[in-house]
Structure 1
Amino acid sequence: MYPDLPVGVFRCDGNGRIVEANGSLADLLGERSPARLLQRAGHLVRDLIVDREDRRHFLKGLRESGGPRDFDCRMYRRDGSTVRVTISARVMRNSSGGIEGTLGTVADITGRVETGLALERAEADFRSLFENAVDGIYRTSGEGRLMAANRALAKICGYDSPDELLDAMNDPVSGSGRAPYVDPARRSEFHAIMNRDGIVSDFISEIRQRDGESVWIRENARAVRGRDGHLLHYEGHVEDITVRRRLEESRQLRAQAAVSGISDALLICDNSGSAIFVNRAFETMLGHDQTSLARMGGVWRLSTQPNIASRIYGTLKRRELWTGEVELSCADGGSLPVEMRVSPIHDEAGEAIGAVLICTDITTRRQAERQLVDLARTDPLTGLGNRLLFNERLDTAVEQTAGWSTSLAVLCLDLDRFKEINDTLGHAIGDDLLVAVAHRLRECCGETDLLARLGGDEFAIVQVEVGQPEAARRLARRIVEALGESFRIGDHWLDIGASIGIALSNEMSASKSELLRHADIALYRAKSGGGNRFCVFEQTMHRELMERKKLEQDLRDAIAENGLSVHYQPQLGMHDGAIGSVEALVRWNHPERGMIPPSEFIPLAEESDLICDIGAFVLQQASIDIASRTDLRVAVNISPAQMRHDDLVQRVSRMLEKVGLPPARLELEITEGILLHDTESTLEMLHRFKALGIRIAMDDFGSGYSSLSYIRRFPFDKIKIDGSFTAGLGSDPGADAIIGAVTTLGHKLGIETIAEGVETLEQLHRLEELGCDAAQGYLIARPMPAHDLHATLGSDFSGLLLGANGAVGGRAPNAERRQARRRVETSA
């Protein structure tokens, strides 16, 4: 039965029983075949229609109208579920008019019903949203007539209900469907955008409410078109942003007030460089306001540096911050260094639309940086250039003179005797002396000369535009003469000098390193010559310097390998003619050069800091050599460098105990210069030596900074008169007077006196007459190794003295004196 129809088909007999059905109906009701359906559902109405009311209405339709049309109801499926269908049926009658049966169709309308329900729900939801939305919603006709509006829009416009708003807006006299824009031009602008794009987004405008108050709104709208493209209507969304707008304006005012009050200069500009805003600090700093900037042609005209604008623009396009130091033009015609920080301003699409510039005045910082640069190149004590500045200027001078006939001179200068003054009088006096030296050096130098202090007592000069070598010599001569004059520092008159080495640039020595090396070599030659002189470098000097360096290394090796020895020079007692003590003197027998005089290697040791090692060696070796001679005392020199060691007393005490030499048989000789430096510390150390029983002698009295107060304050057992006074006996009345005065003073204070440098009988006898207690010199004996002491000590020296053989105050017989002298010469 109609197997190809997509809808179900059935035929019932006169009693309503289904006698025939097609496959589509069987499928619709969940049966595998029409036969299965006929077996399950015998009666169409009673067995298949679900609702009782639907059954009644269906049967009524059959009786009254010959069959219902499009009768919607639910029918049972085989699994008990239901399906919504529409039934169209027609009663079939026989020739006598009786009901013969019913023929009809059944169609599934489940989807159509659900769609209708969904539409109903959507309509209800839309209406709910429309009526209860916080923001305003409207619909207008193509001609602009307001067709619909919700409560929110009515409230925004100042009306109590949408109907009131519709009536007011569509009033043919006052409304005409037009939105009440405060600025009528905004309405025209709105329609222009809509006609062009078919949509308007985030349209900000101000509208007038019913009572005349104004509010700010943000509006979004679109044109709604039919399938054929013709305009149906417009619909839109309106948001009241009045509160937000007022807050934003308030925020902007506060920000502007804050920005106007900050100390940094702030400027806001658009992409063209036109100033939109400048704060008071900007106007004060540069003298420019928005008007003057506009006359200049924009913000970027402020910079005095080329291409700065393009560099900043490139950074902003990359959405990066730009920071840098620039020079900006001031309104008064000057310029100002600033640190500029530029931040891009972007629109909502991320495109740069302007920039914020914050400028900080860095004038003070620049000045501080320049001061730091100057300080880094300035000696803080003297105000002269330092080593850094000297090297920079020398590099420049070497480059400028390269390949030109103009010469360049480098003068390296050391102060003579400065170390002694600094060690004895203290660093404060030394510093004041350096300042005074710097002042005199400035007066000697020319305007183009660079004078620098390299450190300590080292100075250097770069002399440019030296046409002839004689110009450098003239400068050096002026310096030697100027520094050769005495300096008054505090209560002291100080005499120093200057040793100067000069190097001239030429084809042989044009580099900086060569000039410095050659000047240093020439300086060494000047110092070796006794100081207070200058010397110009010659090639032969290099060899001499290398020899000195080798000698220094040989001395180091000698100290390390026990290559030094100690000799002893006897000291003759004037009262008994006996040798009661000896002075320990260091000797160096070089493996290649033989005996090297102490006058040659001791200064070298002092310059190279080897003197402490030598002093410690002499002290220990002398103590060992003399320990076995119970009748002999040994005198050992202590250098200023050794005295600067705080543990010197402990070292000497431990050494004496180790070698077995009684402290009373050790005599330490110190120079006068030691007493001038850190007097209290020196005095305390000497008293500690005295407490051990060690004797203290003042060496070379009268050769340096002699002061009678030292003799009174310090615990001396002996005063050693310098050999220069001994040499003047008989020829210089002053020498006799000084030695006599010292001897008399010593006796009154209980201090022994000894004169050194005695080489003639006349000197010895005069010392005896002046009351000197002891004598030392070549007349008595030369320095000798320890193993030769026994023979010398056994000699009789009494014949040398005036008071020998009981002839006190007179002369010994000539024969006896000659014999004694021969014994002395033999022992020497």
Structure 2
Amino acid sequence: MTSQTTSQFAKPRIDVRALLGLYDPADTTDWGPIRAAQLNAGSQLAVFMLAANVLGAALVTLNFAHLIPVWQLASWGALVAAVGVAVAFRRLSARHRTERAASLKDVRDTMLDGVALGAVWSIAPLLFGIQADAGATLGLWAVVAILIAASAVAMAALPLATIIFMAMLGGSVAALTWLSLSPTLSAAWMLFTTLLIVACYSRGKALVVIRANELALTERDETVSLLLREFEDKAADWLWETDAQRRVIRANPRFAVSLGVDPKAINGMPFLQVLAGPAWESGDFAPGLRDMADRLKKREAFRDLLLPVKVEGVERWWEMTGSPRFGEDGAFCGFRGVGSDVTEARESASKISRMARYDSLTGLPNRLLINETLALAMAEADKWSSRCAFMMIDLDRFKAVNDTLGHPVGDRLLMRVSERLKQLMSAKEMIGRLGGDEFAVVVRDATDTAAVERLAQTIIGVLSQPYEVDAHTLFIGASVGLAMGPRDGRTAEMLIRSADLALYRSKDAGGGAYHAYEPELHTQAEERRVLEMALRAALENDQFHLLYQPVVQAGTGALMGFEALLRWTHPEHGNISPAKFVPLAEEARLIAPIGEWVLRNACMEAARWDSPIRVAVNVSPEQLHNPAFASFVATALQDSGLRPERLELEVTESVFMREGTAAVQTLEMILDLGVRLSLDDFGTGYSSLGYLSRTRFSSIKVDRSFVQGASKGSKEAIAIIRAVVALADSLGMATTAEGVETEDEHRMIQALGCTKVQGYYFGRPLPVLEARGLATRESGGTSVAA
């Protein structure tokens, strides 16, 4: 407040352009009232300047009466009077409008006044003076000198208009003097005019500074009055004073009222006794009171000293400030200071601190308090050469609860989870919520590693038990990442990072387990980061290409189509497996632009095939949840010229697990285009028969894991394939078996009733040109199996 107020009321810095009315500075000074003062000062002397102009014109007329025709002098005098009246009238009429504040335009328009008066007065020396003798010239010089001097004094409040008038009139007289008298006198006249211009500017600046200071003083007085009124209304502070023996003297009424006692009763009492209250007899003083006693004893000033005070049996918190007093002879006289009751402010600060450090939903410590607690645990472990631990907990399958039952049920489930976790914590552990479905445990003493690992296992087991929420029986699980400090991180941030990497490992393993941090996890994370950076540039740098794997008819081996498979060749890392970069692309939200590139290029290539062979393209769930994807499919077909029935989009069952999205509507729009749909990896995921019956799929793909299992005699795999074939037949769909690599597998799949097959037995994924050649041969009747 002090520095801000000081700068606000400092002496204003006057900008030359602002003074002249050419510029509106963006500083703290309000120029509206200052410009109003300039205009009002000019209007006050408007009549005076009108009289000076008329009188001056009359004197000039008399001066040239014997040399210039009367009609010319009369015409010029009338012109001077008309311009003078117009200027005076305009300035007087604007007084009501610019009384309190004026705009930059108001001041800038006065320039026209100076130009008009300067122009009509310049006629006298430039037109009449040329025909005059030396005496008439000197007479004109005297009149103009008086007029310019009067303007410099009277109209200095409007320096722009006045300086223009003086410069024009002074310049014209100087020109006359140069021509009729001598260059020396002309130079003297120019010097005289320049000095008057400088004087006019200085006077105008002084008037502006005075007005600016008046405004600043007024504002300061208003601010001080406001602060005093606020102080009186709140009545929150009081004065206190002691003598050299630390006894209360001249007890302030507010001080006594705050203590709940009579002011006369505490006069002469020891100051510390007054503050200690009932604790004075027992000697059980608060630390703040002991600190104050020490400062009073040493005669040291103190500030914002916080201490508890009992007022009518209720504990209040006071903030005390004091300084020693010394007499004129330097002798110590006692202390004087100010006290404030900050109980409410302290309670508010405590509430704010709690809100900032505790989760509003579960009541558990939040990320801020977790980080602070972990930092303290790390410091203690470093101090005593011991160990601490940090666990990150992520709930498995919690997102499915939110998506299917809604966030209110999810919030109540999180509260049940937090209750279970709190029951597992001992005095040396703290559980908190990081956000969403992530929790964390700080283990202050982790010298017993086996006990920490048992706690991690217990957490997983307890959280995996069923929950009853709103008549729903919910099953979730938990994954845990564990890091030990300071072994796995010298700082809290590093330990959290290590636990996060360990948690990532647990999630990758399928969840429901815990993993401790290992140094290679950091290496893997760095490799993943580098790979993600390379992936972001892969599309732009044209590093992707497509291979096409044949899909044939199970009975005849005739080519039915190709499945477009994405491949990535990096200039440094070489060929990167789709199993490695596709999940990374989905996680980094890059799968949509990559998927669009695949679809666009696959359609372009399929349009080049002469035969009506289809092309199948895998589509990510993220693409289908975008309502604009159907429009992109239509655009890709139109740009390539491929008929819609020759395009088959392969989707997985996971696309139907997100409630409240546009996936089903997007699929319906795609089907309306005439595009075929295939359900990929059926039986490996959620297997929702409801979505299968409601969506118009043209085929179901049997995963290669069932094909390989059936080839090894697995009864379960054979039963699943038969069930999928029977289901597809009843719904009018074809079945495609993936991963057929031998003739025996082909015969088995054919016997089980699959209508289409693909795999290495019929061909590996082919480059573009080879796939194009195979499609051309197929159109001539050649079988792929042949």
Alignment TM-score, normalising by the size of structure 2: 0.56
Residue 787 in structure 1 maps to residue 752 in structure 2: no
Residue 775 in structure 1 maps to residue 760 in structure 2: no
C-alpha distance 537-299 of structure 1, shift in aligned 2 (>3 A): closer
Q: CA deviation at 1:627?
A: 1.8
Contact 2:613–2:775 at 8 Å: present in 1 too? no
Question: What is aligned with 2:593?
Answer: 613
3-state DSSP class of the match of 2:538? helix
Residue 404 in structure 1 maps to residue 387 in structure 2: no
Residue from 737, 754, 762 that aligns with 2:736: 754
Question: What is aligned with 1:548?
Answer: 528
C-alpha distance 473-642 of structure 1, shift in aligned 2 (>3 A): same
Question: What is aligned with 2:274?
Answer: 301
3-state DSSP class of the match of 2:384? coil
Q: CA deviation at 1:484?
A: 5.3
Q: Map 1:500-511; keep pairs closer than 5 Å.
A: 500-506=481-487, 509-511=489-491
Return the alpha-carbon distance in structure 2 between the equivalents of residues 670 and 435 of structure 1: 36
Return the alpha-carbon distance in structure 2 between the equivalents of residues 421 and 781 of structure 1: 43
Bigger CA radius of gyration = 1
Question: What is aligned with 2:688?
Answer: 707
Residue 677 in structure 1 maps to residue 658 in structure 2: yes
Residue 447 in structure 1 maps to residue 427 in structure 2: yes
Question: What is aligned with 1:376?
Answer: 356
Q: CA deviation at 1:583?
A: 2.2
Q: CA deviation at 1:401?
A: 1.9
C-alpha distance 628-478 of structure 1, shift in aligned 2 (>3 A): same
Q: 2:527 is matched by which residue type in structure 1? A: E
Q: Can you list the C-alpha shifts for 1:70-126, whole angstroms capped at 9, x where unaligned?
A: xxxxxxxxxxxxxxxxxxxxxxxxxxxxxxxxxxxxxxxxxxxxxxxxxxxxxxxxx
Question: What is aligned with 1:658?
Answer: 639
Contact 1:425–1:676 at 8 Å: present in 2 too? no
Bigger mean CA offset, 489-498 vs 376-385: 489-498
Return the alpha-carbon distance in structure 2 between the equivalents of residues 420 and 567 of structure 1: 35
C-alpha distance 651-597 of structure 1, shift in aligned 2 (>3 A): same
Q: 1:384 is matched by which residue type in structure 2? A: L
Unpaired stretches in structure 1, ≥5 consecutive residues: 1-261, 343-353, 800-818
Q: 2:757 is matched by which residue type in structure 1? A: A
Q: Can you list the C-alpha shifts for 1:288-347, whole angstroms capped at 9, x where unaligned?
A: 4557656965699237744779999xxxx9xxxx997955533555421368999xxxxx
Question: What is aligned with 2:131?
Answer: none
Return the alpha-carbon distance in structure 2 between the equivalents of residues 382 and 779 of structure 1: 57
Q: CA deviation at 1:569?
A: 2.5
* Structure with higher strand content: 1
Highest relative contact order (Cα 8 Å, sep 6+), 1 or 2?
Answer: 2
Bigger mean CA offset, 735-744 vs 401-410: 735-744
Residue from 545, 548, 556 that aligns with 1:568: 548
Q: Can you list the C-alpha shifts for 1:624-667, whole angstroms capped at 9, x where unaligned?
A: 22122251222222222223433222233223222222333222
Unpaired stretches in structure 2, ≥5 consecutive residues: 1-232, 277-285, 323-334
Residue 604 in structure 1 maps to residue 577 in structure 2: no
Q: Map 1:148-547; keep pairs closer than 5 Å.
A: 273=248, 288-289=261-262, 293=266, 301-302=274-275, 305-306=288-289, 327=307, 329-331=309-311, 333-337=313-317, 362-363=343-344, 365-415=345-395, 434-483=414-463, 491=472, 493-506=474-487, 509-527=489-507, 529=509, 531-547=511-527
Return the alpha-carbon distance in structure 2 between the equivalents of residues 449 and 584 of structure 1: 53
Contact 1:407–1:465 at 8 Å: present in 2 too? yes
Q: CA deviation at 1:584?
A: 1.9
Q: 1:330 is matched by which residue type in structure 2? A: K
Q: 1:776 is matched by which residue type in structure 2? A: Q
Return the alpha-carbon distance in structure 1 between the equivalents of residues 538 and 305 of structure 2: 63
Residue from 698, 704, 716 that aligns with 1:717: 698
Return the alpha-carbon distance in structure 2 between the equivalents of residues 399 and 504 of structure 1: 10
Return the alpha-carbon distance in structure 2 between the equivalents of residues 480 and 553 of structure 1: 34
Contact 1:418–1:457 at 8 Å: present in 2 too? yes
Q: Can you list the C-alpha shifts for 1:251-274, whole angstroms capped at 9, x where unaligned?
A: xxxxxxxxxxx9978989888746
Return the alpha-carbon distance in structure 1 between the equivalents of residues 755 and 662 of structure 2: 30
C-alpha distance 672-733 of structure 1, shift in aligned 2 (>3 A): same
Question: What is aligned with 2:569?
Answer: 589
Q: CA deviation at 1:380?
A: 3.4
C-alpha distance 662-385 of structure 1, shift in aligned 2 (>3 A): farther
Return the alpha-carbon distance in structure 2 between the equivalents of residues 517 and 667 of structure 1: 43
C-alpha distance 438-728 of structure 1, shift in aligned 2 (>3 A): farther
Return the alpha-carbon distance in structure 2 between the equivalents of residues 746 and 653 of structure 1: 28
* Structure with higher helix content: 2
Bigger mean CA offset, 599-608 vs 330-339: 330-339
Contact 2:382–2:486 at 8 Å: present in 1 too? no
Return the alpha-carbon distance in structure 2 between the equivalents of residues 698 and 691 of structure 1: 17
Contact 1:669–1:698 at 8 Å: present in 2 too? yes
Residue 642 in structure 1 maps to residue 623 in structure 2: yes
Q: Map 1:42-61; keep pairs closer than 5 Å.
A: none
Residue from 687, 697, 702 that aligns with 2:678: 697
Contact 2:739–2:759 at 8 Å: present in 1 too? yes
Q: 1:598 is matched by which residue type in structure 2? A: P
Q: CA deviation at 1:603?
A: 2.2
Alignment TM-score, normalising by the size of structure 1: 0.54
Question: What is aligned with 2:225?
Answer: none
Q: CA deviation at 1:585?
A: 1.9
Q: 1:687 is matched by which residue type in structure 2? A: E
Return the alpha-carbon distance in structure 1 between the equivalents of residues 375 and 561 of structure 2: 60
3-state DSSP class of the match of 1:555? helix
Contact 1:275–1:299 at 8 Å: present in 2 too? no
Q: How many residues align?
A: 526
Contact 2:390–2:441 at 8 Å: present in 1 too? yes
Bigger mean CA offset, 682-691 vs 486-495: 486-495
Return the alpha-carbon distance in structure 1 between the equivalents of residues 671 and 751 of structure 2: 31
Q: CA deviation at 1:383?
A: 3.4
C-alpha distance 588-425 of structure 1, shift in aligned 2 (>3 A): farther
Q: CA deviation at 1:565?
A: 1.6
Contact 1:416–1:532 at 8 Å: present in 2 too? yes
Residue from 627, 640, 648 that aligns with 2:607: 627
Q: CA deviation at 1:571?
A: 2.6
Q: 1:664 is matched by which residue type in structure 2? A: E
C-alpha distance 749-368 of structure 1, shift in aligned 2 (>3 A): farther
Return the alpha-carbon distance in structure 1 between the equivalents of residues 655 and 415 of structure 2: 24
Q: Can you list the C-alpha shifts for 1:361-406, whole angstroms capped at 9, x where unaligned?
A: 744x544432321221223344332222222112212222224231
